[in-house]
Amino acid sequence: MNGGQGRKTPHGLLNLDKPAGMTSRDVVNAVQRLLPRKTKVGHAGTLDPLATGVLIVCVGAATRLVDRVQDDRKGYRAGLKLGIRSDTDDITGQVVSGGDPARITTAQLETALREFQGQQAQVPPRFSAVHVDGQRAYDLARADREFELTARTVQVDTVTLLRHDADQVEIEIVCGSGTYVRSLIRDLGERLGCGAVMTSLVRTFIGPYLLATALPVEQLTADTLVGRLLPMVSALGDDVRYAATAAECTALLQGRGLACSDQLFADGQRVAVLDDQGELFAFAEWHAEKQLLLPQRVFVR
């Protein structure tokens, strides 16, 4: 069903359960077809076609929240197979044999997993969307080009072993933005000396958005889309908030600051400004010297 003209442009976020076999872009396109033409749509946090689970699609003014949602903590449940390696670091690539996984005990596996908790340097997969000299790494890899990927600092809060059955392993991960589960599994396999590739991946949450409340993409219609669209304020988490009057919202829209000297803001603190309906209207920053809350990003709807 194609989006028609003349309908009011909706704004908000969709918590969708992406199926295997679709790219994140495929999901965005499916949403776009159900909306009025020229409605902006974007996704926060790419999932590979192999992966399933929570994918947040931002609609209308909420597309300006993509980076905010991407920065949220994420949870995953991943399957992996010991004893093999692949060029993509998952089961979809060219697989080669590794070491014998039979010698790996559950205790060894748990010890190795604990070493991946905390802040660490991680090299992204060769088949990834990371930019290398202006090109995507996966384009260079598909062209069989030689290139080096720079390690990036990532934060892994927890890695928990859920199941270990011979060469089949299942783990649960909570991590920060930019963490590649495929890379973690690849590095785990090298730490164990036998190799490992990811066989499945389910994203269980992004920030406040849970898999349990996600709408399966297969159930997307014009009606379910509108009915499941979440307000932009749902993305705020523990952000400091300020309830603004209609006049104050107009001032922010015009680029003027708000004199809020009675508020206890720290210098440079980012503040989520809510309108008189309780919806997110803007992000602003408190300047102690000027005693003004200055607009950073206004969400025009």
Separation of CA 253 from chain center: 29
In the 3-class helix/strand/coil scheme, how is 124-158 assigned residue by residue? Answer: CCCCCCCEECCEEHHHHHHCCCCCCCCCEEEEEEE
**Angstrom distance (rounded) from CA 167 to CA 159:** 18
Q: Whole-angstrom Cα distance, residue 74 to residue 159?
A: 12
Taking the CA of residue 86 as centre, how many other CA atoms within 13 Å lie in the half-sphere pointing to its CB? Answer: 19
Query: Tell me, what DSSP letter sits at residue 263?
Result: S
- Residues in CB range of 28: below 8 A, 6 or more apart: 41, 42, 43, 57
Exposure letters 39-58 (e unless 16+ CB within 10 A, then b): bebbbbbebbebbbbbbbbb
SS3 190: helix
For residues 116 and 187, is the Cβ–Cβ distance under 8 A?
yes
Total H helices, total E strands in the chain: 7, 18
48, 72, 187, 275: which is the annotated catalytic residue? 48
β-partners of residue 292 are 287
Question: Can 48 be counted among the known catalytic residues?
Answer: yes
Alpha-carbon distance of 96 to 85, in angstroms, equals: 5
- Beta-bridged to residue 164, according to DSSP, are 169
Among all residues, which ones are annotated catalytic? 48
